[in-house]
Chains A and B, each alone.
Chain A
Amino acid sequence: MEAFASLADGLTVAIQPMNLLFALIGVLLGTAVGVLPGIGPALTVALLLPITFKLDPGGSIIMFAGIYYGGMYGGSTTAILINTPGESASMATALEGNKMAKAGRGGPALATSAIGSFVAGTFATLGLTFLAPYLVDIAVSFGPEDYFALMCVAFVTVSATFGDSPVRGLTSLALGLLLGLVGIDILSGQSRLSFGIPELYDNVEVTTLAVGLFAVGEALYVASRRHVHEEKLEAVRGSLWMTREDWKRSWKPWLRGTAFGFPIGALPAGGAEIPTFLSYSTEKRLTKHPEEFGKGAIEGVAGPEAANNAAAAGTLVPLLTLGLPTSATAAMMLAGFQQYGLNPGPLLFADQPKLVWGLIASLFIANAMLLVLNLPLVGLWVRLLKIPQPWLYAGILVFATMGTIAANPSPVELIMLTVFGVLGFLMRRFDFPIAPVVVGLILGPIAESQLRRALSISLGDPMVLLQSPISATLLIIALLALIAPFVLKGLGRFKAVED
């Protein structure tokens, strides 16, 4: 019961008044920004990163936890009320949730998604609590070659295995890895791909990339096709509360969604989309009201929302124990840790137990805060949704540029932001996934240093990667995951459910 003791320790950190305040601010900011249409949790964290630069690490990481969960919650509110999911993982929620809102049942849809998120978040965070110490024990025995192989698995699953097109996914990843090369190589002191530009010597900032790709790219994309479709905000009419019937129809999908979401999020299998669509199709099959699916079935909101949140908490398992981000949001969290010189992984559990367990305990608290705050505040969030689109995107761009130059006061940084924005626009237009670029940029340099460490221990013999049984197994898994989508054309079909 080592986990319990550690968690209790963490709780004493998390319930300090200042930390509670940080969690509260995080939850409110996260929800407020996440609610804005077109802003997913990854961009929420990226936009709010500069605000935390000057805070102390413990408090600001607790704030991130709140932003992370708040951003997820805000995203589903948008999905239900205007049918513009900020990220693919809320697409399933938008399917049924928006239909419910149109039918005047927006209140219960928001309620089942809030309570479902709470249930899933709590169970998944419990899962994290108990799984983390075991994984840390295993991870301690990993050599650099094993880490490198593990990162290869993450690279492949994030980019190729479950996307629409493995070639486009891998292309995104390669662009991220390329950006990861830019700057001074720490081990040899030589500059790579910097072309004599001083600002490029200290690497490409992950926040600049993420804000460029997500915020500027999204603004350009939405503006360029404004003529294609207009969004409509559904008013929340009638009662916010769920009826007895709603509860009866919701609790099983919550639990099943959690059961799909947590393991898939915790394995480095990339993202929350798969569990949400798995949950959606399962609920569609198991429901006693099949006629309601497609017209606003509450099961179709409860299940995918729970799956989404459980997967989000699940991605914290590889992030915290192995330092392995498997989604764009997790990559942003890692960037948040790195800005304080903290490297998630087994060592962090040993060196900074108070910080890690304080963070995990704060997840429970943030989750409970969201449940208590969000339903009463739903009127406020709806008002945020009413900001006219021109001002909304103008405001997002202003905040994005300010955050970027506050972090790095140089026009070159803004030029990079603009270039990444154009890149993000083109990637959206040609349907290249965005998350692999961000994961590639942040994980690429880590993978490189592990690879070079392994090679220098083996005196340059690449066979070291196959001689360690762990590394060999992981590399075979990576290879299978790479080949699978080419052989089994059906893996991308989870996404087809939306049609």
Chain B
Amino acid sequence: MTTSPQRRIDVAGLVIALILFVLAGVVWWDMTKLQILSPYDLGPKVMPIIVSGALALLAIGNAIGALRGDLPARDHLDWKPIILILGGLACLIILIAIGGGFMIGTAILFATTSAAFGRRAFLTDLLIGAVIAVFIYLLFAKLLTLSLPAGPLERLF
């Protein structure tokens, strides 16, 4: 909270306020579709009404804060690592969704995250990721008997 002499309108802050306002609307709209079964209480509608109202109020509060430039100072953002990590997660999700099991996806996630943190040895990391995936598979599936999504690789074990 620095009191800089020139307080500028914070656009990102206004976007946050807008998102909160939209969320308030979604909660309200969803609430209108609910039916009240008991004549005595508002039933399932009470909480959505409270939450929607609170979100709308907080949207106003955040908007005021953004207009006054109250948001904390932010560093310059480096997008590349974020895209790498989210890309790795996306690969994992897609592979699991199409039945490719989790091991390949996990190895990719390991390697992309590692690259996001500045490593330059993608293939080595892919291998390390694969070893970790096997280890976790054995720990979770065999020792703790939890089910992990299986693909062609997992069926080998």
Q: Which residues of A contact B (CB under 8 A)?
A: 50-51, 53-54, 164-165, 167-168, 170-171, 174-175, 177-178, 180-181, 185, 187-188, 190, 192-193, 216, 219-220, 222-228, 388-391, 393-395, 397-399, 401-402, 405-407, 409, 411, 414-415, 417-418, 421-422, 425, 429-431, 444, 448, 451-452, 455-456, 459-460
Query: Judging by beta carbons under 8 Å apart, are B58 and A171 in contact?
Result: yes
Query: Judging by beta carbons under 8 Å apart, are A220 and B148 in contact?
Result: no
Q: Does B104 contact A (CB under 8 A)?
A: no
Query: Judging by beta carbons under 8 Å apart, are B43 and A394 in contact?
Result: no
Which B52-89 residues sit within 8 Å CB-CB of chain A? 54-55, 58, 61-62, 65, 70-72, 74-75, 77-79, 81-82, 84-86, 88-89
Query: Judging by beta carbons under 8 Å apart, are A54 and B144 in contact?
Result: yes
* Shortest Cβ distance from residue A468 to the other chain B in the assembled complex, whole angstroms: 17
Query: Judging by beta carbons under 8 Å apart, are A167 and B62 in contact?
Result: yes
The 4 A-B residue pairs with the shortest CB-CB distance, nearest first, are: A223-B81, A390-B117, A394-B113, A390-B114
Q: Chain A residues near B115: list those with CB within 8 A.
A: 390
* Shortest Cβ distance from residue B96 to the other chain A in the assembled complex, whole angstroms: 5
**Measured CA separation A370–B63 after assembly (Å):** 48
Query: Judging by beta carbons under 8 Å apart, are A397 and B109 in contact?
Result: yes
* Shortest Cβ distance from residue A437 to the other chain B in the assembled complex, whole angstroms: 13
**Measured CA separation A171–B72 after assembly (Å):** 16
* Shortest Cβ distance from residue B42 to the other chain A in the assembled complex, whole angstroms: 7
Given that A228-B75, A390-B114 are known contacts, is A395 also in contact with B46, CB under 8 Å in the complex?
A: no
**Measured CA separation A253–B102 after assembly (Å):** 50
**Which residue on A lies nearest to B43, using beta carbons?**
A188
Q: Chain B residues near A409: list those with CB within 8 A.
A: 147-149
**Measured CA separation A4–B50 after assembly (Å):** 44
**Measured CA separation A174–B136 after assembly (Å):** 36
Given that A177-B47, A192-B34, A394-B129 are known contacts, is A220 also in contact with B72, CB under 8 Å in the complex?
A: no
Query: Judging by beta carbons under 8 Å apart, are B55 and A174 in contact?
Result: yes
**Measured CA separation A460–B43 after assembly (Å):** 9
Could you tell me the dominant secondary structure of chain B's interface residues?
A: helix
**Which residue on B lies nearest to A179, using beta carbons?**
B51
Q: Chain B residues near A227: list those with CB within 8 A.
A: 78
Q: Chain B residues near A167: list those with CB within 8 A.
A: 58, 61-62, 65
Query: Judging by beta carbons under 8 Å apart, are B78 and A226 in contact?
Result: yes
Query: Judging by beta carbons under 8 Å apart, are B77 and A224 in contact?
Result: yes
Q: Chain A residues near B110: list those with CB within 8 A.
A: 394-395, 397-398
* Neighbour of A181 across the interface among B13, B20, B48, B61, CB < 8 A: B48
Q: Mark B136-148, 1 if CB is under 8 A from A, else 0.
A: 1000100011111
Determine which residue in B35, B70, B81, B88 has the highest number of CB atoms from chain A within 10 A of its CB, and name it.
Answer: B81
How many A-B residue contacts, CB cutoff 8 Å? 209
**Measured CA separation A170–B53 after assembly (Å):** 12
Chain B contact-residue range equals: 35 or more
Query: Judging by beta carbons under 8 Å apart, are B46 and A171 in contact?
Result: no
Given that A174-B58, A188-B44, A192-B48 are known contacts, is A50 also in contact with B146, CB under 8 Å in the complex?
A: yes
* Shortest Cβ distance from residue B1 to the other chain A in the assembled complex, whole angstroms: 7
* Neighbour of B26 across the interface among A175, A193, A407, A452, CB < 8 A: A193
Q: Chain B residues near A393: list those with CB within 8 A.
A: 113-114, 116-117
Q: Chain B residues near A459: list those with CB within 8 A.
A: 40-41
* Neighbour of A190 across the interface among B20, B27, B44, B119, CB < 8 A: B44
**Measured CA separation A185–B27 after assembly (Å):** 14
Query: Judging by beta carbons under 8 Å apart, are A53 and B146 in contact?
Result: yes
Q: Chain A residues near B102: list those with CB within 8 A.
A: 401-402, 405
Q: Chain A residues near B77: list those with CB within 8 A.
A: 224-225, 429
Query: Judging by beta carbons under 8 Å apart, are B34 and A178 in contact?
Result: no
Q: Does B123 contact A (CB under 8 A)?
A: no
**Measured CA separation A285–B46 after assembly (Å):** 50
* Shortest Cβ distance from residue B92 to the other chain A in the assembled complex, whole angstroms: 6
Provide 24 A-B residue pairs closer than 8 Å at the C-beta atoms, listed in order of the A residue.
A53-B146, A168-B62, A170-B58, A174-B54, A174-B58, A180-B47, A181-B48, A188-B35, A190-B44, A219-B116, A223-B81, A226-B78, A390-B119, A395-B110, A405-B149, A406-B144, A429-B77, A430-B71, A430-B74, A431-B71, A451-B47, A455-B46, A456-B38, A460-B41
Determine which residue in B30, B113, B133 has the highest number of CB atoms from chain A within 10 A of its CB, and name it.
Answer: B113
**Measured CA separation A460–B113 after assembly (Å):** 53
Q: Chain A residues near B127: list those with CB within 8 A.
A: none
